[in-house]
Amino acid sequence: MALKKIRAVQFGLGPIGIECMKWILKKPGYKLVGAIDIDPAKIGKSLDTIMGEKTKTGIVVSDDPKAVFAKTKPDIVLHTTQSSLKKVFPQLELIIKAGINVVSSTEELLLPDLQNPTLAKKIDLLAKKHGVSVLGTGVNPGFVMDTLPLCLSSMCLEIQSISVRRELDAGKRRLPLQKKVGSCLSAAEFQALKKQNKIGHVGLRESLELILKGLGWKADKVVETLDPVVADRKLTTEYFTIDKGRVCGIKHVIRALKSKKQVVTLDLRMYVGAPESFDLVEIDGTPPIKCRFTGGIQGDKATVAALVNSAPRVVSAAPGLLTMKDLKLPLGFDPRIVS
């Protein structure tokens, strides 16, 4: 069989996008053919300058997706721009209409049916019309709190409940994450942001619903709580110091209830000063399953892996809007062959 490289365009050159490109360049199965961003500081610049080190792609960053697609004819776009489906829809529409598959880190795209069934339907029809596949994925949402527990549930004959706890020390992560979890805020500031829906993990509800959908369950009620974690001592990270009593992170929990029993619980704690990062998946079922990841699955790298590793699966999938449960087993292979 002839080896055919997957031609990829990177759409969105934030930290995740830059990391995606680094690995696309490294993996023999890929060829990076274009880079798109809206940042005036990047447009027209040489990608090699932005990437630094010894990158020699000759690619110039463009803000004109149509022109890039027409010129480079990619197999897939790795899309890493925003969390909101509504906001990224025009970008997705451009990609799909150009007849290109897309794998995206947009959290709401994990299960777009949930927030916006009309838009989801539109994407699905559009993708089918143009013969391409669209997938939203990542580490969370996309794996730890949805795909992974679903995969483990395949070993169970009966399931009473599933719970996932992900706890991570935000102090060891990059600055945007430390800020995202509300570090240094007062309790009042946290609550104000919460009211405006400007703090908390995006995608928790999507993960929960993907599990329910995967298991064929309907919940009577879904309860979501978001609370600040408050520093019980002075905390210092690479970037700043959090005084005792100020916010150092979030505790974001979502529960699905059926007949007043918790059937799915996703408990996410991201805060500076967490004594240990870990992921814990527990299935109360036949047989029961209890699985713990020492150190947790490291977020930033794993999100990039999810995108890069999904690409060959998305390229060869049947056209339409996909979710992780509709895709073939995710795996970390080196995609040298597009079938």
Which residues sit at the interface with a copy of itself, rule CB under 8 A? 23, 139, 143, 147-148, 150-151, 153-157, 159, 214-216, 285-295, 297-298, 301-302, 304-306, 308-310, 324-336
- Hunting for tokens 């995006």 — which residue is that? 202
CA atoms of 135 and 126, how far apart (whole Å): 13
As given in the structure block, the two tokens for residue 291 are 């699985």
Minimum gap (Å) between residue 263 Cβ and a copy of itself? 13
- Closest CB 143 distance from a copy of itself, rounded Å: 6
Phi, psi of 244 (to 5 degrees): -55, 135
Using the minimum distance from each CB to a copy of itself, give the nearer residue, 101 or 147. Answer: 147
- Closest contact distance (angstroms) between CB of 301 and a copy of itself is 4
Smaller CB distance to a copy of itself: residue 44 or 117?
117
**Tokens for 303?**
């999100």
For residues 43 and 289, which CB has a smaller minimum distance to a copy of itself in the complex?
289
Write down the residue that tokens 């792609």 correspond to. Answer: 57
Element (H, E) at 160: strand 158-169
Q: Which of residues 52 and 332 has its CB atom nearest to a copy of itself in the complex?
A: 332
The torsion defined by the Cα of 209, 211, 216 and 222, in degrees rounded to 10, comes to -40
Closer residue to a copy of itself, CB minimum distance, 38 or 155? 155
CB of 62 to a copy of itself, least distance (A): 26
Amino acid sitting at position 4? K
What is d(CA 214, CA 151) in angstroms, rounded to the nearest whole number? 10
- Residue number, 156 or 230, with CB nearest to a copy of itself: 156
Q: How would you classify residue 212: left for phi > 0, otherwise alpha for psi between -120 and 50, otherwise beta?
A: alpha
How far, in Å, CA of 272 to CA of 145, rounded? 21
